[in-house]
A and B are shown apart, each in its own frame.
Chain A
Amino acid sequence: MSSIEVNGKQFEVDEEGYLANLNEWEPAVGEAMAAAEDQTLTDEHWDIINFLREYYEEYQIAPAVRVLTKAVGKRLGKEKGNSKYLYELFPYGPGKQACKYAGLPKPTGCV
């Protein structure tokens, strides 16, 4: 297993760069993962990342994109509850990329 270094601390990640232990997560880890993919995280990104962490906390899974889209629309407003908005924020796929920054495992059924 490989690891990444953030602020002098080591964090284990799997072969696709997902955090091995989600309890170790801190916002700086998300920032560092994003920076490594040339992404800057704005408040809009954090809305989604924080939502994913809360969803995982409650249900023990990362939601499918369809479920994420619906839930974001309900919670953050209809104009944000569509895949265009989410893909603009996370061009590599909202499920894959946002879950990674959130320290969650890859969504179930995500290829």
Chain B
Amino acid sequence: MAVKKFMYVNRKAPYGTIYALESLEVVLIGAAFDQDVSLAFIGDGVYELTKGQKTEAIGQKNFSPTYSALGDYDVNKIYVEKESLEERGLTLDDLQHLVWEDEDEDWAEKDSIRLVSRSELADVMAEQDICLSF
């Protein structure tokens, strides 16, 4: 099977709708198929990656720790749009520090998040075979 470039585009706040969790589950299931996978976080989607989420009061499971497992699933291209962060008064420091371990370099830890501008992200999207929007 030829490898295709899949990008999952996350555009919604983490709770209130099922989109964020559904996207994450599809990514984890799809990771079994050895495709070229990347994730993009734009608009309110950047809130999905924020640190310190507390969900007890809304009676939902806090699934944000699961983003840290993406590296184990060889999902290590996570694009975060710079303008979306800025428009919400956020910086990279407000987001979880996501890393992956490079087996070929004795499990060296590397950053998964790539901060990109809106126009850079548009270029990356244009290279994809498939974009799935959540």
Contacts and interface: CB of A to CB of B under 8 A. Distances in A.
Is B a genuine binding partner of A? yes
Interface of A: 58-61, 63-64, 66-67, 70-71, 74, 108-109
B63 to A, nearest CB: 6
A70 B32 contact: no
B61 A64 contact: no
Interface in B1-40: 25, 28-29, 31-32
A71 B25 contact: no
Interface stretch (B68-76, B113-121, B122-130): B68-76
Majority DSSP secondary structure for residues of B touching A = helix
25 contacts: A58-B68, A59-B65, A59-B69, A60-B61, A60-B62, A60-B63, A60-B65, A61-B66, A61-B69, A63-B69, A63-B72, A64-B28, A64-B32, A67-B69, A67-B72, A67-B73, A70-B72, A71-B72, A74-B107, A108-B25, A108-B28, A108-B29, A109-B25, A109-B29, A109-B32
A67 B27 CA distance: 14
Contacts of B73: 64, 67
Interface string B51-91: 00000000001110110110011000000000000000000
Interface residues of B, number: 15
Interface of B: 25, 28-29, 31-32, 61-63, 65-66, 68-69, 72-73, 107
Nearest to A59: B69
Nearest to B70: A59
A60 B66 CA distance: 6
Contacts of A70: 72
Contact of B65 (A58, A67, A74): A58
A71 B101 CA distance: 11
Contacts of A71: 72
Contacts of A74: 107
A80 to B, nearest CB: 17
Contacts of B62: 60
Contacts of A67: 69, 72-73
